A and B are shown apart, each in its own frame.
Chain A
Amino acid sequence: EVQLVESGGGLVQPGGSLRLSCEASGFTVSNNYIAWVRQAPGKGLDWVASVYSSGSTYSKDSVKGRFTISRDISKNTVDLQMNSLRVEDTALYYCARGYCSGGTCHAGWFDPWGQGTPVIVSS
């Protein structure tokens, strides 16, 4: 069964750092597109960063220079290193795989998703 489990969230002060991890099972992260998407309390979905099977990475402008997405092939995880955290980064952080069907995988469409890990940035 394809599954994603996020961990590493918590309470951190503004300016602090956290490292989120997305552990995959049922597939290998090195062969798939994986993204981080966040959802602030009571708000909508907000794409944060993606890593392609090629290793190429993309992130939204507001997190560039602060957040880094990376893969750990030995652990089969995709991590999100978050530095210089701001109050506005407070959200539930989901990881999601690119949707695959019939042997074809579609980077940029997200399915399945994990259950999320909460990040609270507050003093």
Chain B
Amino acid sequence: ETILTQSPVTLSLSPGERASLACRASQSVGNSLAWYQQRPGQAPRLLIYDASNRATGIPDRFSGSGSGTDFILTITSLEADDFAVYYCQQRDSWPLTFGPGTRVDIK
């Protein structure tokens, strides 16, 4: 099973600041990694797939990078709606797995 580790656990930032969230895989997943955002009380939504492709309707302040075992989700200039929990997920091998999440909260 591919274990995904996310860091930091919590990121406290102010609106307008830049956020960098990390996801590390226990073995290479190539570029088979996605990022999801989950706001309180809501279902997750897909932000980034195949490591760096933005999903339809996702603002360009969200970007993904990395390959193999190390990945980054960057949010430039945080807006109020961006304070949420972010999960990475791999589809390279069974079982499909998610990271434990990074909470981005308002400083």
By a beta-carbon cutoff of 8 Å, the part of chain A in contact with chain B is 35, 44-47, 50, 58, 60-61, 94, 99, 101, 106-116
User: Chain B nearest CB: distance from A22 CB in Å?
Assistant: 12
Stretch with Cβ within 8 A of A (4 or more), from B39-47, B59-67, B71-79: B39-47
Assembled-state Cα–Cα distance A71/B75 (Å): 38
Q: In the bound complex, do residue B55 and residue A47 qualify as a contact, i.e. CB atoms below 8 Å apart?
A: no
30 A-B pairs with C-beta separation under 8 A: A35-B96, A45-B36, A45-B38, A45-B87, A45-B98, A47-B95, A47-B98, A50-B96, A58-B94, A58-B95, A60-B95, A94-B43, A99-B55, A101-B55, A101-B56, A106-B50, A107-B91, A108-B96, A109-B46, A109-B89, A109-B91, A110-B36, A110-B89, A111-B45, A111-B46, A111-B55, A112-B43, A112-B45, A113-B45, A116-B43
Instruction: Give me the 10 closest cross-chain CB pairs, A-B, nearest first.
Output: A108-B91, A111-B46, A113-B43, A47-B96, A45-B98, A60-B95, A109-B49, A44-B101, A44-B100, A109-B34
By a beta-carbon cutoff of 8 Å, the part of chain B in contact with chain A is 32, 34, 36, 38, 43-46, 49-50, 55-56, 87, 89, 91, 94-101
User: Chain A nearest CB: distance from B36 CB in Å?
Assistant: 7
A115 cross-chain contacts in B, Cβ below 8 A: 43
**A59 to B, closest residue via Cβ:** B95
**B42 to A, closest residue via Cβ:** A115
Assembled-state Cα–Cα distance A111/B54 (Å): 12
Q: In the bound complex, do residue B44 and residue A45 qualify as a contact, i.e. CB atoms below 8 Å apart?
A: yes
In terms of DSSP, what is the predominant structure of the interface of chain A? strand
Q: Chain B CB within 10 Å — which of A60, A99, A107, A111 has the most?
A: A111
Across chains A and B, the number of contacting residue pairs, with CB separation under 8 Å, is 58
Assembled-state Cα–Cα distance A116/B43 (Å): 8
